[in-house]
Amino acid sequence: MSANIKFNSKKSVKQGDSLVTKFTYENSIVEGDGVSTFDVTPTATDYEFKTDLKVPKTGLLLVGLGGNNGTTLVGSVLANKHNISFETKEGVVKPNYYGSVTQSSTLKLGVDKSGNDVYAPFNSILPMVHPNDLVVGGWDISKLPLDKAMKRAQVLDVTLQQKLYPYIKDTVPMKSVYYPDFIAINQKERADNVLNVDSKGEPDVNNKWRDVERIREDIKKFKKDNGLEKVIVLWTANTERYADIIEGVNDTADNLIASIKNNHSEVAPSTIFAVACILDQIPYINGSPQNTFVPGAIELAEKHKSFIGGDDFKSGQTKVKSVLAQFLVDAGIRPLSIASYNHLGNNDGYNLSSPKQFRSKEISKSSVVDDIIESNRILYNKEKGDKIDHCIVIKYLPAVGDSKVAMDEYYSELMLGGHNKISIHNVCEDSLLATPLIIDLVVMTEFLSRVSYKKADEKSYSDFYAVLTLLSYWLKAPLAKPSFKPINGLNKQRLAVENLLRLLVGLPVNNELRFEERLV
């Protein structure tokens, strides 16, 4: 859905293919002990933002192209691009991008003369790349052609798959990096399309810098062959085990590069892809829970001013948790425990049945309430070690396939010893929730790469900081700038994205004071 919007703001002016906007960022600096003494000083800083309005021809390379998410992403783009409808027992289904914020949600513009809210499509505020225009490719450790990989995934309706086959038949992913120690042993049978093999055809983990260089070559060739102006790489492959953070190995950019060249055992495949992208300033997003962005990788991204984002898609259960936990704490209710149980039957669940890979997922899911707890010292006394008991269980159950079953219990304390228990049973088709997140992450990453800023007294513009924290809305365990704490509250994350778009077109940041109806 398109919309024609005219912004009548004196704060923004179009200069050629760019929109230049003045904005005053207001905040408050708080000093004191943070418990009983607060010394609050309002601050204001004048900025100038510049947005490139020209949308480049963009390519998307997926690591894990032949998996559930990869084949679903390819299928969704092709179905929408070619307007492929299909029939189910419930009727005809027309292609859409439901579940995508950028494609299927709206943003408040303001109010009409009667004080009623007025909304417009999210992607109509400023030019954004359309998913139909993405050129999609990628790598996979499995050489199964995409038509057969899509059938193996068992996500899309069979009738739709049959209509998609002519577009993807015989399309084989590029060979990927496979270090057996980082994913479950049960994935070995799928690994028949491996970039790093020795003369005997076995995985070679003794030439990791060569792997970096080959990935860089793959990206350059993909960009050239398709006449692309920009490429974004996103990891949607298997969850890896956590890499140990070791001083002198992966703690700094220089040490990480040296460790790759020395074939250190704690350099993961996902980090190999990240480094390859960072060195050539290719934005790289990690959609799985492992710690791809070790400290050395973040420092390397800072050094090369290359965008990174992660970790782990925030699709179903965790998204609900970030909303519900925030609601309870904001309401003055004290959650005591959160018990989360999942079972699923896709290959992600199969891989997560291995303890080391499960631990990566457990860490990413458990951190989602950390900043919510720290926001309320009345309910949680940090000095006394108050916390929420948080239990996470994931079981592999083949019969349910891609339909992940999630059951949560929130047990909270009310006034005067009372208690409240909220139980939620959620069944979701995992890849059909994750795929729209991939679309949003790619669309927003490309958009953010066209925005620059400077303070009013500065001469030159700068890009955003390397870690794109504005992507946090779509990520389960969002990265933060070192020394800063990540924001997990979903409403805060969404508001940040909305307000950025508003300020870039000269609108005031959103508020709900609604003086139109509250004042005489």
Which run of H or E residues covers position 335?
Answer: strand 334-344
Q: 256 to each of 179, 235, 314, how far by Cα in Å?
A: 17, 20, 28
Q: How many other C-beta atoms can be found within 10 angstroms of the C-beta atom of residue 224?
A: 9
Looking at residue 361, its amino acid is K
What is the set of active-site residues?
312, 361, 404, 476
Instruction: Please name the residues in contact with 162: beta carbons below 8 A apart, sequence gap of 6 or more.
Output: none
Integer-rounded Cα Rg, in Å, for the chain is 24
Q: Give the closest residue to 375 by CA, choosing from 489, 484, 494.
A: 489
CA distance 187 to 178: 10
Question: 10-27 as b/e, with b when 16 or more CB fall inside 10 Å?
Answer: ebbeeeeebbbbbbeeee
> Among positive and negative, which fits the CA dihedral 266, 269, 273, 276?
positive
63 near 233, Cβ under 8 Å? yes
Provide the sign of the torsion angle of the four alpha carbons 449, 454, 460, 466, taken in this order: negative
Contact residues for 356 (Cβ-Cβ < 8 A; gap 6+): 184, 241, 242
CA distances from 69 to 40, 293, 312 (A): 47, 21, 13
Tokens of 168: 């993807």
Dihedral sign (CA 474, 476, 481, 483): positive
CA angle, 92 as apex, 88 and 93 as ends, to 5°? 90
Give 233-272 as a DSSP string.
EEE-SPPPPPPP--TTTTSSHHHHHHHHHTT-TT--HHHH
Report the alpha-carbon distance of residue 8 to residue 499 in Å, rounded. Answer: 17
As a whole number of angstroms, the distance between CA 389 and CA 178 comes to: 36
Q: How far is CA 219 from CA 62, 311, 349, 453, in A?
A: 11, 22, 29, 29
